[in-house]
Structure 1
C-alpha cells in the first residue's frame, strides 16, 4: 500500500505525516510514507486544503489532521 501525506508547511500537516508513519508501522506496512509539500503537486490530487492523506492514489482525507487510530482504521479498511 502506498501512503502519501499532502502538505508539510504547517504543524498540522507535519503531525498528520508523523501520525501516518506511526499508523503504517503499526499496521505492518514497510513502504515509506511519502510527503508532498508542493502545492502544484497537491492540486493534481484535487486537494485545495491541507493536511491531506492519499492511499493507493485515492484521497481519503483533506483539510483535516487525522489521529494515528483514524489512519490505522483507514488502512485496515483498505487491506
Structure 2
C-alpha cells in the first residue's frame, strides 16, 4: 500500500472528528469543537484522528480538519467557537 493510496478510513464511532497529528492548532480545534458542542447542548463526542494514512484517506493534506458525518467541513485552520457552533448546528441539525 502506497503512502497516499485512497483507502477507507478506520471506523471511528463518532459523528464529529478532528483530524490532525496533535499539534497546538489541532488541540485547539478539538477544544473549540468540544466547547461549541457543549454550548449547543449536544452530547456528541469528538474523536481526534491522528493516524496520517487515515487523515489522507479523507483527502485532507492540511490540518487541522473538521469532519462531521464523514464529510470534511473545514480544513487548514482552527475555527473560532462561533464558527464551530454555526457549522455544527447546520450539519448536526
TM above 0.5, yes or no, is yes
Equivalent residues of 1:6, 1:51 under 8 A apart: yes
Structure 1 segments (4+ residues) deviating >6 Å = none
User: What are the within-5 Å matches in structure 2 for residues 1-79 of structure 1?
Assistant: 2-78=15-91, 79=93
For the residue of structure 2 that corresponds to 1:19, the secondary structure is helix
1:50 is paired with a residue of what secondary structure? coil
Question: Aligned pair count?
Answer: 79
Larger radius of gyration: 2
Gaps of 5+ in 1: none
CA distance in 2, matches of 1:38, 1:56: 18
- Unpaired runs of 5+ residues, structure 2, are 1-13
Q: CA RMSD in A?
A: 1.3
- SS of structure 2 residue aligned to 1:30: coil
